[in-house]
Chain A
Amino acid sequence: MKKASIMVLATCLLVGIVSSPLFAGGEAGEAAAKGPVKVGAILAVTGGASWLGAPEAKTLEMLVEETNAAGGIDGHPVQLIIKDSQASAEKAISFAKQLIEEEQVLAIIGPSTSGESMAIKDICQEGRTILLSCAAAETIVDPVASYVFKTPQKDSYAAIWIFKTMQDMGISRIGVVAGNTGFGNGGKAQLEKYAPEYGIEIAIAEVYDSGATDLTGVLTKLKARDVEAVVNWSIVPAQSIVAKNMRQLGMEVPLFQSHGFGNIKYVEAAGEAAEGIIFPCGRLLVADVLPADNPQKDLLISYKSEYEARYGEDVSTFGGHAYDAFIILKAAIEKSGTVEMDDVRDAIESLQGVVGTAGIFNISASDHNGLGLDSFEMLTVKDGKFTLLKQ
């Protein structure tokens, strides 16, 4: 009996698998005059990295709708396929193969995390499909793979900006705490690498568990070393916890955060303890106070107002990485005039002066990121709001 029921179920499975192409409604890219262009996205919409993936997915949906309402890219309607990888590398791999072989997308936007991006980097390269990663790791674009690009700024630039500001403030002895994620470890490595160049001494550097709920123990150690500033390189929720713990411990020294602090919610979570936090960031969060002649201002304000109107939540710099990926793709398609994979890829590599949320992109064959040191701006928190550090 066991065997009979198994055979029945197995046959159903077989039938289901085999017949699903009939229901998949797959438009196998018919060469109509202006057929739809398929864009895939692998994002961590839920799961441990949802603070990245959720805004990214929302941003893409918003953008695609707008673009299609305006007639598509170069006349081609855009078909967006979002896959929720839940920050799991094996799912990212499976989805990448699905998007490349089955859906035959022109490009994949994402993934949200560095681990997933590295897992699918070779797959996209071998599958000759454009990958526009929204993750931060340097190794995504170094060594350069011809089809793989990334949109977030370099971690090293963030570290350099922090040190430059410290020099201006006369700080020379600091303590570093970092969360044990790829982002945290990467940032800590960059800090340690560039500190000597700027004459900063890292008196103590500690890595804590990113899910830790109380960091007074670690901060007590830093306090005991009489550091002149604390740098915290982590993701949520530790960013707010460090701020609160520091004030509760009576530490008055300045707190620097990484560009992972780019969401007003983290300021709210830290409440009064967030006053005076200094961090490098893209200009999105201070779009209102930018000078009128800033080339990014219009784009940033329109993104901010549309996103907040549509979703009722504050915009964050992470959604901006997906925004930039999309507009880069759009600019490349418009520049090359086709939706052929290799032509678009060549076009991406030659893009200059594309205005995005994270900065202005100048991509080349050796630089598949395209953002320079000036893509960052030093921000601070004042009266519960983000403002520029230098007025």
Chain B
Amino acid sequence: MHPRLRKYIPILAVLLLVVVIQLIISATGANYYLTQLTMSAYYSLVVVGLCLLMGYAGQISLGHAGFFAIGGYTSAVLTTVNLMPYADSSAVEVLERLGMVLERQDLYGNTLLSFSPWLACIAALLITAAIALIIGVPVIRLRGHYLAMATLGFGLIIYRIVLGTGFLGEADGITGVPGFPLFGLEVSGALSKRISNYYIAWVLVLLGMLLAMNLIQSRVGRALRSIHGSETAAQAMGIDTARYKLGTFVLSAVYAAVGGIFLTHYNGSIGPSEVTTMKSVRYVAIVAVGGMDNLWGALLMSILLNFLSLRGYFGSYDDAVFAAILLVIMLFFPDGLLRAPGLRNLAVLREKAAAALRSSRSRGAEDG
């Protein structure tokens, strides 16, 4: 197979798996699993972005739930603010003509007018990127414990702001978020739209993986890995480490925001429970378990753990389970589960076999 196309195999394989799972689920009449699979997919977007940041740029972030929240809350606020009182003003009419407002009926027969989800989405992404840029500049200069604490502090400030501000819903959060019309489909929690929402979520995740994989295999990725290996050496080689780290930071924030925006529309609400420190720690735990720089591992672990957590398998021990996983991985498998020593031997074996095959083929080519 053409070497260029080889790298798309995993993506196609996962896409196939996604389709197969959906078909099996629908055939057995177990469509309700799609809910948790969809929600897990959106959380996985955060994890993929965080994996880029932690595994490749080597920056820990204990406040990534904050970016998820900035994205989610911004889109929630803009799509639930009631423009009806201003419906006749010229400003609103201009917006209407530009297609930037959304009119809909709620369950109680009221007509609501708010900004369109597209506008809200773009605004949320821009705001997240801007905040990530502003915060990122001082943050990337920090290392180790200081970095951890600074990101923790960031997450906490977002939590406090969300909890203390009236129009952000304070402790109750924002509910009544409308669906997001997307190319003829709609991102919403409606029962009838479960299957389409499942695919929307997974297509987003796979696109995110594609982008991440391309990034890693490009110059940017190599620069990041050299920075992760040794920042001084990378600087000596002329790499602008600050710029790369900042870029990765902002990108990972945007990934988290996308997850936040879409999950908010899917759930129809968002609350302060999405911004707690524990949430941020969970994202870190998942990235660590998957293997810090292993995108696919992170994705797999995210789906697995979030799925189980959302179905209540861990019951009241949810937080304890994540803490235990975190500890076990950090103590015994610091390079991630999928790189565990036992499996490593298999990897070596396979590589040796592949090398032997290649050299015998080339010898054959020379002879023949």
Footprint of B on A, CB under 8 Å?
A: 1-7, 9-10, 13-14, 17-18, 21, 45-46, 83-84, 86-91, 93-95, 97-98, 101-102, 113-116, 118-119, 121-123, 125-127, 137, 143-145, 180-183, 185
What is the CA–CA distance of A183 and B269 in the complex, to the nearest angstrom? 19
**Subset of 12 A-B contacts with CB under 8 Å:** A13-B300, A13-B304, A18-B24, A90-B273, A90-B274, A94-B311, A115-B272, A118-B269, A119-B271, A126-B191, A137-B172, A182-B170
* Shortest distance from the beta carbon of B7 to any chain A beta carbon, whole Å: 11
Would A84 and B269 be within 8 Å (CB), given that A2-B297, A6-B297 are in contact? no
Q: Spot the interface stretch: B92-100, B221-229, B241-249, B343-351.
A: B343-351
Q: A97 and B312: CB pair below 8 A?
A: no
Is B36 at the interface (CB under 8 A from chain A)?
yes
For chain B, the bracket of interface size reads 35 or more
Would A93 and B267 be within 8 Å (CB), given that A1-B350, A182-B170, A182-B172 are in contact? yes
Q: What's the count of A-B pairs with C-beta under 8 Å?
A: 154
* Shortest distance from the beta carbon of A30 to any chain B beta carbon, whole Å: 15
Footprint of A on B, CB under 8 Å?
A: 9-10, 13-14, 17, 20-21, 24-25, 28, 30-33, 35-36, 39, 107-108, 110, 163-164, 169-173, 175-176, 189-191, 263, 267-274, 294, 296-297, 300, 303-304, 307, 309-312, 315-316, 318-319, 338, 343-344, 346-347, 350-351
| Residues on the A chain within 8 Å of B176, using CB | 122
Closest B residue, CB atoms, query A9: B300
Q: Which 7 A-B pairs have the closest CB atoms?
A: A1-B347, A115-B172, A89-B271, A88-B273, A101-B32, A182-B171, A143-B108
Q: A123 and B189: CB pair below 8 A?
A: yes
Q: A87 and B268: CB pair below 8 A?
A: no
Closest A residue, CB atoms, query B309: A91
Would A45 and B296 be within 8 Å (CB), given that A118-B175, A122-B107 are in contact? no
Q: B170 and A180: CB pair below 8 A?
A: yes
| Residues on the A chain within 8 Å of B271, using CB | 88-90, 115-116, 119
What is the CA–CA distance of A143 and B108 in the complex, to the nearest angstrom? 7
What is the CA–CA distance of A144 and B110 in the complex, to the nearest angstrom? 12
Q: A90 and B267: CB pair below 8 A?
A: yes
| Residues on the B chain within 8 Å of A17, using CB | 21, 25, 33, 307
Q: A119 and B267: CB pair below 8 A?
A: yes
Q: A180 and B164: CB pair below 8 A?
A: yes
Would A98 and B35 be within 8 Å (CB), given that A2-B296, A6-B300, A115-B172 are in contact? yes
